[in-house]
Amino acid sequence: MRTTPETVAELIARQWGDHRPGLKSEDTVLSRHRTAQEAAARAALLVDLLPPGAEPHLGVLLDNTPEFPFWLGAAALAGAAVAGINPTRRGPELARDILHTDCRVLVTERAHLPLLRGLDLPGVRILVTGTEEYEALLAPYAAAKPGEATVAPPGPGSRLLLYFTSGSTGAPKAAICTQGRLAAAGDSLARQFAVTPQDVHYICMPLFHGNAVIADWLPALVAGAPVALRRRFSATAFLDDVRAFGATYFTYVGRAVQYLLATEPRPDDREHTLRLGFGTEAGAVDAARFAERFGVRLVEGYGATEGGASVVRTPDTPPGALGRAGAGDDLAVIDPGTGAECPPAVLDDRGRLANGDEAIGELVNRGRSLFEGYWRNPDAEAARTRDGWYWTGDLFFRDPAGFLYFAGRTDDRLRVDSENLAAAVIENILARWSDAAAVAVYAVPDEVAGDQVMAALALREGAVFDPEAFATFLAAQPDLGTKMSPRYVRIVGAMPTTATNKVHRVGLRKAGFRAAPDPVWWSPPGADGYRPLDPQALAELLAAYEAQGRAELLDR
């Protein structure tokens, strides 16, 4: 019987002497023993490279190559911490991430060296994988074994990850994740999904993000299952990879599932080894489409990298819900304005929300929290834990039986004609439209007061936006409230996303309805249907904002 691990270092050390497959990447297959060996060598090198008295932190600026899990394992063995560095960051922002987390060593690859050119990174030693210099540095440590070299003996409270949250405003916050919490999370998921050594976990989400490490790499490590790496996510290569690796499990975030559904259907879409996908933000409509097309069940979960709250799916969880509060959590849906608990949701016989204005609030953990803080950011910590509660920053509603439903981020809330709306609820409705490959809903300022609803639509291949058909579709949706119908519709060639496949809402909001060269359609007040927002209509609309003194809000 598998024992519950106390640290990730213990999980790495367990691989020693185990010659079953441990890591697959392109044409390479390494044993579990070999991956532990590579981690031990890098741990020994790291201990020698870190200056005395320095924080034991290293930055990893890599795609999903074998070097990334090697260095994760090395940090665990050495009692050090990895800061996953996002390669979509640029210039001073990228330097800020590296220096803010006190990285004294930065591991990267040739492909990312141009990102570092010209950056001022005092005291940071840069290692470039795949070079002769790098191999020469590692060579003296080839015989190292797990546990031989440590900065400090690793324990459950040892920092292992400093993972940046993907906040939409301000500098990203580095969430602290300890070895004990991460080992427990990996063990919990391995048990929940009955992972065995015969499984293969396909890692196509970026390893600099918590999803790939916590929900994919760690459960495999716990159960003795190999992982298969994809350098970067590719929707068109997904099924070929799954077949080549014999993958049985994958994780996803953001719009990855929509990208997979947007690929051209093939007769062999169900000929593969996948049994499960686990992630967030797929939505009930796309999850059903995915299961129908690929024969694979998607399980939506909720649990941020910060660890402050978790929602656990049980067998009786209704469609659309994520589950109930995890063991020990006291989760409530709170109205941030009043601090009062929101009333239960009223759902019709099809599970559709009828009282979103009063039922949707912020998910708060009033009980014990696993949140371990943000690195050198006491103001962000205080905001997250105000009044002794953990505030998730996410909108939810709860049904009378206590099941929780995700409704978006708190900054995705809209206020239309004094009614509060959640973007995710509207997105789930618009996702039913057969011509939509991807949907994003966000607020644009109303010319008089409050907000108006704007939707960005990426269309399925070969589809052309038909404004009459779209208006007819909206009119047929019984749960689309009178304030939810989009005033503006932007047609995008591809949905703009972040490096973690989440919609890049900041860019969408900033452009608003001034989104040329993308076509924008609008439904003027009192008019039926949609018409193009042509230059003349745009000029008249901007004049209305100017007359109401709200023009500056368009550049917020």
DSSP 431: T
Q: Which residue has the higher pLDDT, 102 or 357?
A: 102
What kind and span of H or E run contains 61?
Answer: strand 57-61
What does DSSP say about strands 302-303 and 297-300: parallel, antiparallel, or unpaired? unpaired
For the chain, percent of residues with pLDDT exceeding 70? 97
DSSP-derived secondary structure for 328-357: T--EEEE-TTT-PBPPPP-B-TTS-BS-HH
User: Residue 335: beta bridge partners?
Assistant: none
Q: State residue 455's pLDDT score.
A: 96
User: What are the tens digits of pLDDT across the range 25-63?
Assistant: 998 999 999 999 999 999 999 999 999 999 999 999 999
Are 429 and 470 contacting, i.e. CB atoms less than 8 angstroms apart?
Answer: no
Phi, psi angles (nearest 5°) of residue 328: 85, -10
User: Residue 556: beta bridge partners?
Assistant: none
Name the token pair of 404.
Answer: 């929780």
The C-alpha torsion from 429 through 434 and 438 to 443, rounded to 10°, is -40
Helix (H/G/I), strand (E/B), else coil: 472: helix
Question: Is it the case that residue 282 has pLDDT exceeding 70?
Answer: yes
User: What are the tens digits of pLDDT across the range 230-267?
Assistant: 999 999 999 999 999 999 999 998 778 888 998 999 99
Helix ranges restricted to H, 139-248? 179-192, 210-212, 218-223, 238-245
Burial (0-12, 13-18, 19+ Cβ within 10 Å), 551: middle
User: What are the tens digits of pLDDT across the range 477-524?
Assistant: 888 887 889 999 999 999 988 877 888 888 898 889 998 899 999 998
Most confident segment among 65-79, 247-261, 311-325, 401-415: 65-79
Q: State residue 256's pLDDT score.
A: 87
Rounded CA-CA distance 263/237 in Å is: 10
pLDDT band, residue 463 (cuts 50/70/90): very high
Helix (H/G/I), strand (E/B), else coil: 302: strand
Over range 306-333, report the average pLDDT: 88
User: What pTM does this model have?
Assistant: 0.83
Rounded CA-CA distance 39/156 in Å is: 19
Phi-psi label, residue 402: left if phi above 0, alpha if psi -120 to 50, beta otherwise: left
Are 428 and 422 contacting, i.e. CB atoms less than 8 angstroms apart?
Answer: no
CA 229, 503, 234: angle at the middle one, nearest 5?
A: 30
User: What are the tens digits of pLDDT across the range 207-226?
Assistant: 998 899 999 999 999 999 99
pLDDT band, residue 81 (cuts 50/70/90): very high
Which positions ≥6 away from 497 have C-beta within 8 Å?
Answer: 254, 255, 503, 504
Are 163 and 199 contacting, i.e. CB atoms less than 8 angstroms apart?
Answer: no
DSSP-derived secondary structure for 510-533: HHTT--TTS-EEE--TT--S-EE-
Q: State residue 497's pLDDT score.
A: 86
Q: State residue 169's pLDDT score.
A: 46
Burial (0-12, 13-18, 19+ Cβ within 10 Å), 197: middle
For the chain, percent of residues with pLDDT exceeding 90? 69
Over range 180-201, report the average pLDDT: 96
Over range 341-353, report the average pLDDT: 84
Q: Which residue has the higher pLDDT, 451 or 38?
A: 38
Name the token pair of 529.
Answer: 């249907």
Helix axis angle, 67-78 to 32-49, nearest 10°: 60
